[in-house]
With several copies, the nearest count.
Chain A
Amino acid sequence: MKKLINDPADVVPEALAGIEAAHPDLRVDHANRVVYRADLPRPGKVGLLSGGGSGHEPLHGGFVGLGMLDAAIAGEVFTSPVPDQVLAATKLADSGAGVLHVVKNYTGDVMNFDMAAELAAAESGARVVSVVTDDDVAVQDSTWTAGRRGVGVTVLLEKIAGAAAEQGRSLDEVADVARRVNAAGRSMGVALTSCTVPAVGHPTFELGEDEMELGVGIHGEPGRERVPLAPARDIAAMLVEPVLSDLPFGRGDRVLCFVNGLGGTPLIELYVFYNEVQRILGGAGVEVARSLVGPYITSLDMAGTSVTLLRVDDELLSLWDAPVRTPALRWGI
C-alpha cells in the first residue's frame, strides 16, 4: 500500500486536522470528528448537516460553508459515524430552526442517523428531519432490500438544499427541496481499479488489466458486473444510458450533468470522458444546463468515474447558481 499517511488508524483525525488548518472558515470538533462553520450558530437558519464514512473527500467536510452544509461528520474510513457524533453535530448545527440530516442510503448510515435523531429529540427537543439519497441505478430498487445507494446526487443536494437554507426557508421547505433533488437525480459509476482501505492495506478487490467493474459503489462494493475495459465513449454509453432510462430523462429535459472522479483518475481523463457524456446527451436531446466535472465524491484512490444527471427547473437552477463558499465548491462570493 502506497499512501501519503502515517498510521492507518490515524488517517481520519489527521485529515481533519489538515482541513482545519487549511481552511480558516472551518472549525473541527476533534472529539466528535465534526467539521463545522466557524460562524455558527446562525440564528433562524435551518441547520444542514451530513456525514458518513470517510474516504469520499471532499464529501462531506469540503462542502461545509456558506450556502452549503453547516456541519459534516466524519466516520471511520467507509464506516458510517456513530450516533454520538451525529448528535454532537446536530447540536452544533441547530440554531433553533431545526436541522436537516442528509443521509446516504446505506444501512449503517440510516440506522446511526436515526438513533441520533431519536437522541436529539429526547435530549434537546431539536427538530430533525432526514432526507435519504438513493440515486445509484446500478442497484436494483426494491422494498425488499436495502434499496439503492446514495452517491453523486448527495453533492448536488447538499449544494441546492444549502442554498435554500441560506435563503431562510423553513425546515419543511428545505427538506422538500432536498427530496425533489433526490427524486430528480440518478447516477451510475465504474471502477477501473479497486481502492485500498488504509487499515486493510491491500486492494478491496482484484481487477485484471483488461477488466473494469461496472456499477461499482463508492466503498469498493462490487458492482453490477465485471466487463472488459473499454474506450471512454463506450464507458460513457454504459453509464449514461441506464441513468437516462431510469428516471427516465427525455428529449427537452434540462439537466445538471455531474461527471465525478473517484479519486485516482486525473482531470484530463475526466474531461475526455465528459466530452463523451455530453455528446450522448446531445444525441438524446437532453440539454445540459449546468455541469460539474471533478473529484467530488471519491472512493479513496479508486480509478474510475461516475455520472450523475439531475433534472432541473428554474428554481433548482437558481439555487444551484446561488453563492457558495466551501473548500470544494465556491462561487458568487
Chain B
Amino acid sequence: MADTVAGEVSTDDLLAWVRAFARLVEENREALTELDAAIGDADHGANMHRGTTAALAAVDGAPPASPGALAKKVGMTLVSTVGGASGPLYGTFFLRVGTALGDAATATPAEVVAALRAGIEGVVARGRAEAGDKTMVDALTPAVAAAEEALAAGRSWTEALTAAAGAAAAGRDATTAMVARKGRASYLGERSAGHQDPGATSAALLLAAAAETLLGRGAAGST
C-alpha cells in the first residue's frame, strides 16, 4: 500500500473506485443491455463490462504510481477495449481526469472534483452532447456540479460525493422523459422518449461507485 496523507485521495482510493465501478457494471450488465435494446443496439452492458473488466485488470495487482497515472491507464484501456460510443467517451473522461490529476502521489478532494470537471469537458468535446440530449452527460454534469457546490459550501468529502451520486441518479432518471438528440437513440426521434438512457445509467453507477469507495478514505480528514 502506498503511503497516504489523511484527507487526500490516494492511488488506492482510485483503484477502489474502479473496482467498485467494475462490480456495479457486472451486476447491472443485463439491465444496461436491456435499456440499450429499447433505444439502441443492445450492447451497452457488454461494452461496459468488457471495458471495466479490462481496465480493472490493467491496474489491479500492480497499480500505477499516482492517481493521475491510474486514471490515464484506465482511460487508455477503456478506449482500447470498449468500442462503440461509450468507449471513446468514458475513455476520454478518464484520460482527462488523469491529465488533470498530473503526477502527484495524492490529490485533494477539490483537485479530484476539478479533474472530474475536466473529464466531462473531454466528453463534451468528443461527443458534442448538450444537457438534455439524453446521454451520459445528463448524469455526469449535475453530479460534478453537485460535488463542486458541496465543497464550495464547505461540506465534507463524503457529503460531496453522496450529493454527486444523488445528482447523477436524478440526472439519469430525468433522461427517461427526454427525446434523444445524440447517439444511436437519436434515430428514434420522438420514439426515444419514455426510455431511460443506458449511458446515463452507467454514468450513475460510476458516481455511485465513487460515493461508495472514495469517501471511505477521503472522509477521515476532510471535514
Contact = CB atoms under 8 A, between A and B. Distances in A.
Asked if A and B form a direct contact in the complex, defined as CB atoms under 8 angstroms apart, the reply is yes
Interface of A: 53, 75-84, 106-108, 111-112, 114-115, 136, 138-140, 144-146, 149, 197, 199-200, 204-205, 217, 219-222, 225
Interface in B174-223: 180-184, 186-189, 191
A112 B39 CA distance: 21
Interface residues of B, number: 34
A82 B80 contact: yes
B66 interface: no
A217 B187 CA distance: 9
B127 A111 contact: yes
Nearest to B86: A108
Given A79-B84, A108-B85, A222 B183 contact: no
Given A112-B88, A219-B41, A75 B79 contact: no
A83 B187 contact: no
A221 B183 contact: no
A82 B55 CA distance: 14
A84 B181 CA distance: 28
B186 A83 contact: no
Contacts of B186: 139, 145-146
A52 B88 CA distance: 14
Nearest first, the 4 closest Cβ-Cβ pairs linking A and B are A219-B41, A108-B84, A108-B85, A111-B88
A220 B38 CA distance: 10
A140 B180 CA distance: 12
Contacts of B33: 200
A76 B50 contact: yes
B43 interface: yes
A197 B83 contact: no
Interface string B74-113: 0000011111111111000000000000000000000000
A204 B80 contact: no
B127 A107 contact: yes
Contact of B184 (A77, A111, A112, A146): A146
B181 A82 contact: no
B141 interface: no
A200 B42 contact: yes
A71 to B, nearest CB: 17
Contact of A108 (B42, B46, B81, B87): B87
Nearest to B184: A221
A219 B37 CA distance: 10
Nearest to A107: B85
Contacts of B88: 83, 108, 111-112, 114-115
Contacts of B119: none
A10 to B, nearest CB: 13
Contacts of B191: 222, 225
B47 A107 contact: no
Contacts of B39: 221-222
Contact of A83 (B37, B40, B79): B79
Contact of B83 (A108, A149, A222): A108
Nearest to A139: B187
A136 B182 CA distance: 16
A225 to B, nearest CB: 8
Contacts of B38: 205, 222
B126 interface: yes
28 contacts: A75-B84, A79-B43, A79-B84, A80-B84, A80-B87, A82-B81, A82-B87, A83-B80, A106-B85, A107-B85, A107-B184, A111-B85, A111-B87, A111-B89, A145-B181, A145-B186, A146-B182, A197-B41, A200-B33, A200-B42, A200-B46, A217-B41, A217-B184, A219-B42, A219-B184, A220-B42, A222-B38, A222-B191
Contacts of B83: 53, 75-76, 79-82, 108, 112
Contacts of B79: 82-84, 115
A108 B186 CA distance: 13
Contacts of B81: 82
Contacts of B40: 219, 221
A324 to B, nearest CB: 29
